[in-house]
Copies of this chain bind each other. A is one copy, B any other.
Amino acid sequence: MDQRLRVHCFTISRDGIGAGEDQSFERPFGHVDPGELMSWAGAAAGWAYRGDGGTRGLDDYLVRAMNRNIGAEIMGRNKFGPFRGPWADHEWQGWWGGEPPFHTPVFVLTHHVRPSFALGETTFHFLDTTPHEALARAKEAAAGQDVRLGGGVTTIREFLAADLVDDLHIAVAPYDLGHGLKLWESPDELADRFHTERVPSPSGVVHYFLWRR
């Protein structure tokens, strides 16, 4: 069974930045405005958080591909919440309200584990382990389907360093951010290990598709 680890719709600035520093409860992306960074996705009819209307061109196809054949997600603790260090309590259940958009098991990588819990159709598990071991757990939970690597920047870089990522779709917004957490200096860094396609969208973002050689 060919189960893949896939990155989808992960959006960075032209200078490679996927999130700001100084994340807080009020600012989940630090100084970066996620609504602006992700505006290409928010304009698409298939985006989970919008109502009626929206575009149905290239960007919409990519937004809708995000959940295709996905049976589990892996994310870093900073995608799950703004806290660092030991948990004061377990009241925080993520940014997504009572029905998180994952609808699968989600594995949160953290040095500070806590009990698993279910929220809507999503179950969150907390793992203090290596990328290899986390991927093995997620693949088992995905029951034959693929695993999505949800980010953030640091988590994707760790899994790339461990050479565990099979496919990446990275959207590059048409502006620079100057400073923040950087996914790459350039996609050329991955050219020795990944086939790379560059596809400008009519919306202004540039989509990169990378898959393992």
Contacts and interface: CB of A to CB of B under 8 A. Distances in A.
B64 A68 contact: yes
A197 interface: yes
Contacts of A199: 57-58, 199, 201-202
A61 B9 CA distance: 12
Contact of A61 (B55, B56, B61): B61
Interface residues of A, number: 20
| Copies of this chain | 2
A38 interface: no
A47 interface: no
A103 B157 CA distance: 39
A61 B207 CA distance: 12
A209 to B, nearest CB: 4
A10 to B, nearest CB: 15
Nearest to A212: B56
Interface string A139-153: 000000000000000
Interface in A1-26: none
Nearest to A6: B56
Nearest to A169: B61
Nearest to A67: B68
